[in-house]
Amino acid sequence: MSALRKKFGDDYQVVTTSSSGSGFNQHPPEKKRKRQRFVDKNGRCNVQHGNLGGETSRYLSDLFTTLVDLKWRWNLFIFILTYTVAWLFMAFMWWCIAYIRGDLNRVHNEKYTPCVANVYNFPSAFLFFIETEATIGYGYRYITDKCPEGIILFLFQSILGSIVDAFLIGCMFIKMSQPKKRAETLMFSEHAVISMRDGRLTLMFRVGNLRNSHMVSAQIRCKLLKSRQTPEGEFLPLDQLELDVGFSTGADQLFLVSPLTICHVIDPKSPFYELSQRSMQTEQFEIVVILEGIVETTGLPRWRPESVFLHDVGAGVVNTGAGDVAWSLDVFVLYF
């Protein structure tokens, strides 16, 4: 406690737990004026690119990734529009062949062989294309051997259909298999605190997994984002400093089957070492917590960023009570 008073003065927050098991008294940090976050609480990064030049062409050059990153409503719209345009185009091509050959005129003798049997208008040409493309094969409309241009068009139709199917279905499959919603069940504490743990001043927050399926190879990293000016006079608006959360000891590798407390020791190497609680409430700092891992059910990697302002951090003294081991995970103000 004396270390906390020496570090933060008299304006610190006291947090105690009740050994009776009825709960714990908590004094969360006072609510401050809402600031714009670099990373929202839902994990979305508030970054907009500008003054790049040729931004649209860059997105179109990587069209597959652009489609995967689009919202679902635009994906479905492009999916339906692409198939509709392709179907109408190919049906028009079959109608053009029938029109050029004169197959649309029904006044023919019995010996006349059309390019496609029973195609005499655009709707019948469209139905023929759908039957062949979807391999329905009713048998009423079919290509005859007297139409080489129809055979070439049929080969082109098969190749084009395979390309469109591979591109659009592959795009939809990748988008559906992305474990974005999996990150919604990775919970971070609403607040973090600075308190004594193992005789050292420590910044602590909590992370938990709500699902029964595990995060394989789960790893956590912390970044401190702040602006600074270099000795040469260069201003860095978003300088990133790494916060040590157990790299040397392997504590950053998580076995996330129950809520875990992540600790950053405030030692002379920590960027918080020279800060007081009052400066934490006024400085424009932000802590970004990144949880990475592989989703057990799909085998796909997933990461979840979370943001904490320094004014969300409270300083406190923890008293768990004599022999109260059950409260070892709930000793400071951390909400889910």
283 closest CA partner among 228, 221, 204, 206: 228
Within a 10 A sphere around the Cβ of 40, how many other Cβ atoms? 13
333 closest CA partner among 24, 6, 59: 24
Same domain, 139 and 86: yes
Same domain, 308 and 202: yes
**Residues with Cβ within 8 Å of residue 307, at least 6 apart in sequence:** 37, 38, 39, 40, 41, 286, 287, 288, 289
Same domain, 77 and 39: no
Q: For the domain that residue 87 is a member of, what is the CATH number?
A: 1.10.287.70
The token pair that represents 324 in the structure block: 């109260």
* Count: domains in the chain: 2
Residue predicted with more confidence, 280 or 267: 267
pLDDT in tens, 147-173: 889 899 999 999 999 999 998 998 888
End residue of a domain, out of 129, 149, 177: 177
Binned at pLDDT 50, 70 and 90, residue 313 comes out as low
Binned at pLDDT 50, 70 and 90, residue 210 comes out as confident
Same domain, 249 and 306: yes
47 assigned to some structural domain: yes
216 assigned to some structural domain: yes
137 assigned to some structural domain: yes
pLDDT in tens, 47-102: 666 666 677 787 788 888 888 888 889 999 999 999 999 999 999 999 999 888 88
Q: What is the pTM of this model?
A: 0.59
Within a 10 A sphere around the Cβ of 166, how many other Cβ atoms? 10
Q: Which domain holds residue 205?
A: 2-51+191-315
* 243/310 Cα distance (integer angstroms): 14
Q: Where are the beta strands (DSSP E) in 160-214?
A: 186-188, 192-197, 200-209
Binned at pLDDT 50, 70 and 90, residue 122 comes out as very high
Same domain, 43 and 83: no
Residue predicted with more confidence, 215 or 308: 215
